[in-house]
Structure 1
Amino acid sequence: MELINDIVCQVYFDGKSTEKIFELLHLYLPKYEPLNLDYTSRIDSEEGFTSNKEMIDYFVNKDHVDQTFYWNQYVNNPDKISFGVNITDDNKTVFSLTIDGTITLAEIYLNDLKERLNSDIGVITFFNPAEYKNGLDFKMKYQ
């Protein structure tokens, strides 16, 4: 079996949830590197964030914003998973796992992520994430 770098598994989630983001982040990357608190900024203020949770809460609770987050884990991560969350401007979320592995392993991760998100909409791409305008566009393209 051929090892492939940067296989991207993306799954649609019909909503936004801080709890779901952190639940899956802790599951897939239990020793993740926290984001820098200046990773992004508020849309309506120059006030900074005091924690990763506050940052995620802000974008989950703000309507019609488009914001993407990526986390890495540099230890105990044999599949080199990175975890991504794209909060779309139509208040949906596309979760992603980027791995180094085989097609079979990518299908396992994709199906696991679909099950955990109770979604049947997902796609595997190579090197670059799938292109889409918002949650509805992702859903229509990859259903």
Structure 2
Amino acid sequence: MEIIRDIVCQVYYDEKSSEKIFELLKLYLPKYEPLNLDYTSRVGSDEEFSSNQEMIDYFVNTDNVRSTFYWNQSTDNPNKIMFGVNITDDGKTVFSLTIDGTISLAEIYLKDLKQRLNSDIGVITFVNPAEYENGLDFKTKYQ
């Protein structure tokens, strides 16, 4: 079996939810490394966030904004999973798992992520995530 680096499994989610983001983050990366609090900022403000929760809540609860977040875990992570969330400006979310593994393993992760998000829309790419403008564009291209 050939190990492929940077296989990206992306799944469409028809809403934005801090609860869902942290639920899946803790599931796939239980020992995740928190983001730096200057990872991103509020629109039109330099005020830093006080926690990862506040940062995610801001983008989930603010309309017409977008941001992408990636978390890593340096220990107990044999497939080198990186968990990603792209909150789109049209109120949708595209979740991603980037792994080092086989195509079969990527298909398992994609299926699992789809089931947990109750979504039929997803794609596997290599090295670079799929390209799309917003949630609707992702849904249209990869349905």
TM-score of Structure 1 vs Structure 2, range by shorter chain:
over 0.9
Unmatched runs of 5 consecutive residues or more in structure 2: none
Alignment-derived partner of residue 41 in structure 1: 41
Alignment-derived partner of residue 79 in structure 2: 79
Unmatched runs of 5 consecutive residues or more in structure 1: none
Q: How does 1:93-132 map to 2 (within 5 A)?
A: 93-132=93-132
Alignment-derived partner of residue 133 in structure 1: 133
Paired positions, count: 143
- Aligned to 2:36, the other structure's residue is in SS state coil
Alignment-derived partner of residue 52 in structure 1: 52
Alignment-derived partner of residue 8 in structure 2: 8
Distance of 1:94 and 1:81 partners within structure 2: 16
Farther off after superposition, 4-13 or 46-55 = 46-55
Give identity over the alignment, percent: 80
TM-score when normalising by structure 2: 0.99
Alignment-derived partner of residue 19 in structure 2: 19
Distance of 2:115 and 2:64 partners within structure 1: 26
* AA in 1 matched with 2:68: T
Runs of 4+ off more than 2 Å: none
TM-score when normalising by structure 1: 0.99
Distance of 1:7 and 1:45 partners within structure 2: 35
